[in-house]
Structure 1
Amino acid sequence: MDPIALLAFISITGGIAVISWLQTRKEKLNTLSGLFFANRNLGFITVGSGVLFANINTALFIGENELTFTNNMSVMAWGVTSVFAMLVVSEFIMPIYLRHEIATTPDYLENRYDRKTKVIVSLIFLVNYIVNLLPSVLYSGAVAFNGIFRFSEIYKVDYWLVIWVLVWCLGIAGALYSLLGGLKAISVSDTLLGFAMFTGGLLLPLYALCELGEGNLVSGWNMVTTYKTSHWNSIGGPADAIPFATIFTGMLLVNLYYWGTEQYIVQQLLGSRDLASCQKGIALACVGKLLCPLLINIPGVIAVHLYSGMSNTAEVFPKLLGDASPPFYTGFMAALLFGAAFTTFNAGLNSSSTLFMLNLYKPWALKKGRKLSETQLVRTAKRFEIILCLAAMFIAPFILFASRGFYTYVQTVGGLFSVPIFTILVVGLLTRRVPPIAARIGLVFFICSYAIAEFVLEIKLHFLHVLAILFVLTAALMLLIGRLHPLSIPYQPNKAVKQELTPWKNRHWVALVLLLALVGMYVIFSPVGLAR
């Protein structure tokens, strides 16, 4: 373990924590609005950075570089094509959410359907966070830190034990940050991490190319563009990690769900001071997503030329970082990875607590006739976060035994919870007479069918195509129920709002530039570009 790397890691991480504390020490966290939504007063830079870093975590660094190393650049579709989904959410979905002045995405489903649907969806969200999101962030963070600092090698400790220790260290640190700082502290640290990533962070491919070229950057570049060029190909075939056709089926649905429905993402956007700030923030996050392959994909391509026969391919990224970077930069990137891990973890904890308090606990307490002060509610919210954190820390180490690999596990299990919710949301947005019972039947049908297809029968069809097929079938089932048993009084959306809903006037031409950049990236990473 290099002392310079460790010192750099501690200094940068500590510096970010101190700045976040200084920026938030006067914030009122004794109310649910202050704890969960930063009092709805975030500017576009803070919103964009918060959304981006709620998405970017060690699971992406570890998982996508691993798949690029073992497969090719087709995996970049998860991030790059999300730009289209983010722009759709910015233009069509966020105005609806802000118009309804919701606090959680299930709130809209309550307005459109009924309270039972809201409760069911809230529980689905919480189960997803407990078994998938929070454990995967902790596990990937532990893998990254062991790969960078090589604790298991240096101290001759069993790998399984090291993962347990690191998972608990990350979990405790993340929980303390969320409990003490709330959403505002998370957003401030995200802004600082965003600046660090898109300045110093982008130097990693250069260091890796120099390592490959034995000190010569041009020589390293010539090697990766001359040999094994198939790894540059983003146009995935049927046997690749992401077949190109799935971009237009299940992946589109997953991305639309993620950016427009996922609570820990939407909660960052709901903290915006107005619609224009929200849309500017989403555009800023889109720029970040287009730059992300430099860190979460391209290092995996370079690693193909440096390593062969790795027993644990999940450690490709941290191994490359440790081997190719000077000590200070290794510490800098370790701090960045640590921040990426605990900001997503914190956002997940914060949004889980939001769902529990506002959708489950508070309504239950009011129904029982209990009059709870804001201070009591905040105290209960923090206790719930502690319980959730402990559950995630116990589950996380067992991801090591996932049979189909870490990243495939994350995406496959995520599909079990995500697209069913998005399906009933879409039907609710596009219709006025589909009744609440149709939403509940749709959820049960989708989840059960997907679970059988993926975990019982294991049919020979990419899980993203399975999601798309079930989306169509579930929507058709809901429409049929709506035709047979329509609402007697059509649903009427909320018209009166307090928040400013004037859209950003430059959003359309900015969206066009972003979409052209998206297409350009697929041309670069294709058989007519670097993969020729």
Structure 2
Amino acid sequence: MKLALLDMVIFTTYVVGLLGLALWISKEQKGASKNTEDYFLASKALPWWAIGASLIAANISAEQIIGMSGSGYAIGLAIASYEWMAAITLIIVGKYMLPIFLKNKIFTMPQYLEQRFDNRVKTTLALFWLAVYVFVNLTAVLWLGGLAIETVAGVDWLYGMIFLAIFSVAYSLYGGLKAVAYTDILQVVLLVFGGLFLSYLALDTVADGQGIVAGFNILTAQLPAHFTMILSPENKHYASLPGLSVLLGGLWIMNFSYWGFNQYIIQRALAAKDINEAQKGIVFAAFLKLLMPVIVVLPGIAAVVIFPQLSAADQAYPAMMSLMPVGLKGLIFAALVAAIVSSLASMTNSISTIFTMDIYSQLRPGKTQRHYVFVGRLVVLLSLLIALIVAQPLLGQFEQAFQYIQEFTGFFTPGIVVIFVLGMFWSKASSLGALAAAIGSAVCSILLKIYWPALPFMDRVGVVFLLCLLLCVIVSLTKPDQGLRVKLAGINFVTSSSFNIAAWVILLILTALYVVWW
């Protein structure tokens, strides 16, 4: 599929406009220079609407848009559990975890681990996160983004990757998190409205011009198996979404690790001016998560009827873009690129934050704030360069890059959740117990993958979490620390009435969705 001249004009206008907006946001007062709080945490002054929009923009990228649309084509609405369960996870993170992080005034997740445990735990997890962000997340987003540009615009994937890297650097390198977060508002608006319009066109096409309600009714009538939220063991996709485990098992562990303890996600909330603003931003993001399946999964399901002969499920979203009229196709393409570059900018900013604040500043203490910001900018460039070099060798042989991400991060996710949850809410959790959980997570995951290959990935995560929980408790009781370094006393977990009302609304909406599509 090629883009018409008008589409390219619209896309180019978007690129230029975004860069101009980023430079304007990043502009400093005369004689001033950014310190580490300005660059890495947006001066701790982000409002709720910027936090919520930026959380979603950092989360939604090529692997979500193209991958989840492809899963909608192959599996159906059941894949929406990743989005809908995340909404509840965000509420729990906002109520019980954010107050602890903000009370301790941290920049990074490893920094909290040092305060709670010791430098060994911090360094171990910092190095792990740096490796994952550079060699898994960053490479996957670049690779899938390059393939998406090749599919939609006909540009070679390598040139597409280079364009994405340069684009993300151009608007985020100078301004840091502030430039990323505020431009994310534009990105999310474009993503949501562009995605909703594509869903409208998809349903209207299915109904042959009779409207979206008729189109939705036709889909549910012709594809009843695609509108089942809980898959039975007989379903050929059961290993990907193993029945009730989606609601009761490993998906919770994966969600808490991603939304609660993942630097490039939680960093937006850490940059809030206060806890109330952070929690309002979390609620805003949770409501947007409820909407995401309509934007990314529904077009994939509609593609089963409109394009039933696709050779690969991941072709669903690019194929559906062909429905867009000239001009609007450029807008949808801009929305897709917006999601990709936002995720790239978020990841590189978090990579530079962890490296500069948790590794470099410990090796070279006492340097000026300006020096640390300069090092952070260098790390952004270096991480993108590494990702560009290794993306094709690492991911070129995988049929699904999303599977590569899950398999690698899933080895460590259970241990991370154990370390943070016990560290926050069990005073006897010790440093050696935390290290045991981190190492045990990788070891147990690899052993289960080798000796119990039939165990679904999501169930394996749940089993390893329980094993790591037991391991951490045993080691902590036998090898206790001298004293708890982070105390929960004085941390207020009481939330505002508006937060509580929003949480109940989200819970009721989710309950209704699962009851209807059970």
What interval of TM-score do these two structures reach, taking the shorter chain for normalisation?
over 0.9
Equivalent residues of 2:94, 2:282 under 8 A apart = yes
Letter in 2 for 1:26: E
**1:385 maps to what in 2?**
380
Per the TM alignment, residue 399 of structure 1 is displaced from its structure 2 partner at its CA by: 5.6
Q: Which residue of 2 aligns with 1:273?
A: 273
Residues 428 and 484 of structure 2 are in contact (CA less than 8 Å); yes or no, is this contact kept in structure 1? yes
Q: SS of 2:221's equivalent?
A: coil
TM-score w.r.t. length of structure 1: 0.91
* 2:134 maps to which of 130, 133, 136: 130
Q: Does 1:23 align with 2:25?
A: yes
Match of 1:246 in 2: 245
Question: 1: CA distance between counterparts of 2:418 and 2:270?
Answer: 22
Deviation at 1:343, TM superposition (A): 0.8
In structure 2, distance between residues paired with 1:361 and 1:489: 28
CA contact (8 A) 1:139 1:399 kept: no
How far does the alpha carbon of each residue in 1:326-385 deviate from its partner, in whole angstroms, 9 at most, with x for none?
12111111111111101111110001110001100001112xxxx421222111111111
Deviation, 1:479, is 0.8
Q: Which AA in structure 2 matches 1:90?
A: G
Contact 1:56 1:344 in 2 (8 A): yes
Question: 1:170 is aligned with what amino acid?
Answer: L
Over residues 182-230 of structure 1, what are the superposed CA-to-partner deviations in whole Å (9 max), with x where a residue is unaligned?
1111111111122223334311111122333444436644432321221
| Alpha-carbon distance between aligned partners in 1 of 2:493 and 2:488, rounded to the nearest angstrom | 13
Deviations 1:245-266 (A, max 9, x none): 2221110011111111000111
Q: Which amino acid aligns with 2:86?
A: S
Amino acid at match of 1:312: A
Alignment correspondent of 2:201: 207
Aligned position for 2:499: 507
Q: Does 2:451 match 1:449? A: no
**Are the counterparts in 2 of residues 5 and 327 from structure 1 also a CA contact under 8 Å?**
yes
Query: In the alignment, which residue of structure 1 is the partner of 2:352?
Result: 353
Tell me how far 1:77 sits from its aligned partner.
Answer: 0.8
Q: What is the correspondence of 1:324-339 to structure 2 with a 5 Å cutoff?
A: 324-339=323-338
* CA deviation after TM superposition for structure 1 residue 177, in Å: 2.2
Displacement of 1:309 in angstroms is 3.6
Aligned to 1:430, which of 416, 425, 428? 425
Q: Which aligned pairs between 1:144-159 and structure 2 lie closer than 5 A?
A: 144-151=148-155
Q: CA 1:222–1:150 in structure 2 vs 1: closer, same or farther (change >3 Å)?
A: farther
Map of 2:48 onto structure 1: 44
Match of 1:73 in 2: 77
Paired position in structure 2 for 1:157: none
TM-superposition CA deviations, 1:397-456 (whole Å, max 9, x none):
3465454623222222221233321111112122222321121122111112213433x4
1:104 to 97, 102, 108: 108
Matches within 5 A, 1:256-267: 256-267=256-267
Partner residue of 1:228 out of 223, 226, 230: 223
- Does 2:410 align with 1:415? yes
How far, CA to CA, are the matches of 1:468 and 1:221 in structure 2? 35
Corresponding residue of 1:158: none
| Unmatched tracts of structure 1, length 5 or more | 152-161, 527-532
Query: Match for residue 471 of structure 1?
Result: 465
The structure-2 alpha-carbon separation of the partners of 1:468 and 1:418, relative to structure 1 and needing over 3 Å to count, comes to same
Structure 2: gaps of 5 or more residues: none
Q: Is it true that 1:523 corresponds to 2:515 in the alignment?
A: yes
What is the 5 A alignment of 1:276-287?
A: 276-287=276-287
Indicate the residue corresponding to 1:255 in structure 2.
Answer: 255
Q: Aligned pairs, how many? A: 508
Render the CA deviation track for 1:137-165: whole Å, top value 9, x for unaligned: 112222222222234xxxxxxxxxx2222
Contact 2:412–2:438, Cα closer than 8 Å, also in 1: no
Equivalent residue, structure 2, for 1:315 = 315
**Matched letter for residue 504 of structure 2:** L
Q: Deviations over 1:480-522 (max 9, x none)?
A: 112222223344517679xx99843421111000111112222
For residues 346 and 302 of structure 1, what CA distance do their matches in structure 2 show?
32
Are the counterparts in 1 of residues 116 and 484 from structure 2 also a CA contact under 8 Å? no
1:22 corresponds to which letter in structure 2? Answer: W
One-letter amino acid of the counterpart of residue 295, structure 1? I
CA contact (8 A) 2:115 2:486 kept: no
**Distance in 2 (alpha carbons) for counterparts of 1:19 and 1:404:** 37
**3-state SS of 1:325 partner:** coil
- Residue 54 of structure 1 aligns with which residue? 58
After the TM superposition, which of the residue ranges 38-47 and 301-310 deviates more from structure 2? 301-310
1-side partners of 2:281 and 2:290: how far apart?
Answer: 15
The aligned amino acid for 1:507 is F
CA contact (8 A) 1:64 1:297 kept: yes
Contact (CA 8 Å) 2:149, 2:157: kept in 1 or not? no
- Alpha-carbon distance in 1 for matches of 2:403, 2:486: 41
Verify: 1:117 aligned to 2:121, yes or no.
yes
Structure 1 equivalent of residue 367 of structure 2:
372
Which amino acid in the other structure matches residue 68 of structure 1? G
Q: Flag as ranges the 4+ runs of structure 1 deviating above 6 A.
A: none
Aligned AA (1:469): V
What RMSD, in angstroms, separates the aligned Cα atoms of the two structures? 2.1
The residue type equivalent to 1:171 in the other structure is A
TM-score (norm 2): 0.93
Query: Conserved in 2, the CA contact under 8 Å of 1:254 and 1:418?
Result: yes
Shift of 1:89: 0.5
2:211 alignment counterpart: 217
Deviation at 1:463, TM superposition (A): 1.1
User: Displacement of 1:5 after TM fit?
Assistant: 1.3
Distance in 2 separating the partners of 1:501 and 1:18: 40
What SS class does the counterpart of residue 84 from structure 1 fall into? helix
Give the letter for the 2:342 counterpart.
T
**Amino acid aligned to 1:378:** V
> One-letter code of the match for 2:401?
F
The question of whether the paired residues in 1 share the 8 Å contact of 2:22 and 2:172 is answered with no
Aligned to 1:6: 8
Aligned-partner SS, 1:132 = helix
Aligned to 1:343: 342
Q: Which one of 184, 188, 200 corresponds to residue 182 of structure 2?
A: 188
Helix, strand or coil: the match of 1:292?
helix
Does the CA contact (< 8 Å) of 1:234 and 1:525 recur in 2? Answer: yes
For the residue of structure 2 that corresponds to 1:226, the secondary structure is: helix
* 3-state SS in 2 of match to 1:80: helix
Q: Deviations over 1:117-152 (max 9, x none)?
A: 00111011111101211111112222222222234x
Change (3 A) 1:491 1:361: closer
Contact residue 163 and residue 397 of structure 1 kept, 8 A: no
Q: 1:60 to 1:256 in 2, by over 3 A?
A: same
Select between 114-123 and 430-439 the one with higher mean Cα deviation. Answer: 430-439
- In structure 2, the CA distance between the partners of 1:47 and 1:217, relative to structure 1 (3 Å rule), is same
User: Residue 530 of structure 1 corresponds to which residue in structure 2?
Assistant: none
Structure 1 residue 76: Cα displacement? 0.8
Report if the CA contact (8 A) 2:96-2:493 is conserved: no
Q: Determine if contact 1:275/1:501 at 8 Å carries over to the other structure.
A: no
Corresponding residue for residue 171 of structure 2: 177
Could you tell me how far apart the structure 1 residues matched to 2:452 and 2:386 are?
28
